[in-house]
Amino acid sequence: MMTVRQWSITQASVGMRLDLFLCGQFGQLDPTDSLSRSEIQRLISQGQVRLNGTMTKASARLKAHDCIELRSLPVHETKLKPEPIPLDVLYEDQDCLVINKAPGIVVHPAAGQPTGTLVNALLHHCSDLAGIGGERRPGIVHRLDKETSGVMVVAKNMLAFQKLLAQFKTRTVRKEYLAVTWGAIFPTEGRVERPIGRHRSDRKRMSSLYFLNKARPALTEWRVEERFIVTHKSSSCSVSLVRLLPRSGRTHQLRVHLADMGFPVVGDKVYGQQKKAVRQHIVVHPVLGAFPRHALHAEKLAIDHVRTGQRMEFCAPLAKDMRELWSYLRRLNTNEVSGIPELSIRRG
């Protein structure tokens, strides 16, 4: 059923653009059904917004006593299919859902993978989705790569979607990751501030060293938690467990910065195996080299609650494979680690 909302323009709003006026007004009647400026512009172009009874443009300037009528269509059901995929839920309320994403699951359906994604799982889990942009679906405000595990927040309605997006845009969200990297990182803490863009010779990769013109600023802070020297037969190499705090949100940022520093993430097939030293380590240490994914985990996420503004921090326990990897690295001078024959690991 179509709903109709009306506004009469007072002197205070004279001269405003129509789309900007609606941005400030539309969500007041129902905050959970708020709309972004681009979505309001789409409604105007579709003729769902009338100014004094006629179709108009988003740039129309308002006059005193103008009458605006917005005809909201009911939220339509998504074409995506709900699927009973297990979720590790850390927190849930009427506005958002925080999960510990498992490694190996794609966040959003795309060409070649319409099912089996996190969105399919969320559609099955959440019975109270209010709709995002006119469609009943979860609001993905940030993504983790398929192989990356850890904490993610998902919006259930437009209010939460807009508020969370704003927090990511203004960088008030705090994120912390853990990674296992090849090499002994020194000093113990520091920061890397290098712009990231598409690799100039490989469009499927990003780079902070060899990028095209359209690079964007990126900043990563890091702190070494532990260092290890891994000895196998007569050869050895160094490995680090490092905590990462991204201060920007570029594609593959952490993996790119680490690789370009010379310390690629263990298991990273995109940014790691191009390094000659890493290829040698993989040959010499086949077990660590065969870790099935990049060893990167989003451990902590801090956000402001979308209604109360209260600061909330969530912590996602390590996925089983990374927990086992860390355990192997901490077991000193032993050959008894299951599945790792003749592997000797000591702290560095």
Cis check: omega of the bond before 114, within 30 degrees of 0: no
Closest C-alpha among 15, 17, 66, 61 to residue 40: 17
Report helix, strand or coil for 168: helix
Helix pair 37-45, 18-29: axis angle to 10 deg = 110
C-alpha distances in Å from residue 189, one per residue of 16, 186, 246, 253, 329: 50, 7, 14, 18, 21
Measured CA to CA, the distance from residue 284 to residue 99 in angstroms comes to 37
Report helix, strand or coil for 25: helix
Measured CA to CA, the distance from residue 137 to residue 230 in angstroms comes to 46
Block residue for tokens 């998902």: 154
Measured CA to CA, the distance from residue 137 to residue 119 in angstroms comes to 8
Asked if 131 and 157 count as a contact pair (C-beta separation under 8 A), the reply is yes
Report helix, strand or coil for 109: coil
Find the angle CA(101)-CA(324)-CA(332) to the nearest 5 degrees: 150
Measured CA to CA, the distance from residue 189 to residue 170 in angstroms comes to 25
Catalytic residue status for 268: no
19, 145, 260, 268: the catalytic one is 145
Residue 219: CB atoms within 10 A of its CB come to 17
Find the angle CA(112)-CA(125)-CA(170) to the nearest 5 degrees: 75
C-alpha distances in Å from residue 74, one per residue of 1, 119, 134, 155, 332: 6, 21, 7, 19, 62
Asked if 343 and 325 count as a contact pair (C-beta separation under 8 A), the reply is no
Per-residue DSSP letter, 307 = T
The residues annotated with a catalytic role in the active site are 145
